[in-house]
């Protein structure tokens, strides 16, 4: 089994990394909308943070960054 030339492998891996970055960004957006829904359901970001064991600041920042335009 022969490997393709290193330039082709680098190009291929760069394309894969771009795809993965795009998928991760979409996952962050979906997560932020779920966090926003959770905060609404529980009544506050504080309640959600306590329920999830996460930082209130981290949750607020994620919601703000990914759910507002």
Angle between helices 6-42 and 56-67 in degrees, nearest 10 = 110
Q: What are the average pLDDT values for consecutive 10-residue runs of the chain, which has 69 residues? A: 90 98 98 98 98 98 92
Helix residue ranges per DSSP H, the chain: 6-42, 45-52, 56-67
Angle between helices 56-67 and 45-52 in degrees, nearest 10 = 120
Question: What is the per-residue pLDDT for 69?
Answer: 67
pTM of the model: 0.83
Would you kindly state where each structural domain of the chain is located, as residue ranges?
41-69
Task: Please name the residues in contact with 69: beta carbons below 8 A apart, sequence gap of 6 or more.
Answer: none
């Amino acid at each position: 089994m022969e490997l393709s030339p290193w330039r082709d492998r680098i190009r291929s891996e760069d394309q894969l990394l771009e795809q993965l970055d795009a998928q991760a960004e979409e996952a962050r957006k979906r997560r932020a909308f779920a966090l926003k829904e959770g905060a609404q359901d529980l009544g506050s970001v504080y309640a959600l943070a306590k329920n999830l064991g996460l930082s209130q600041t981290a949750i607020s920042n994620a919601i703000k960054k990914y759910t507002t335009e």
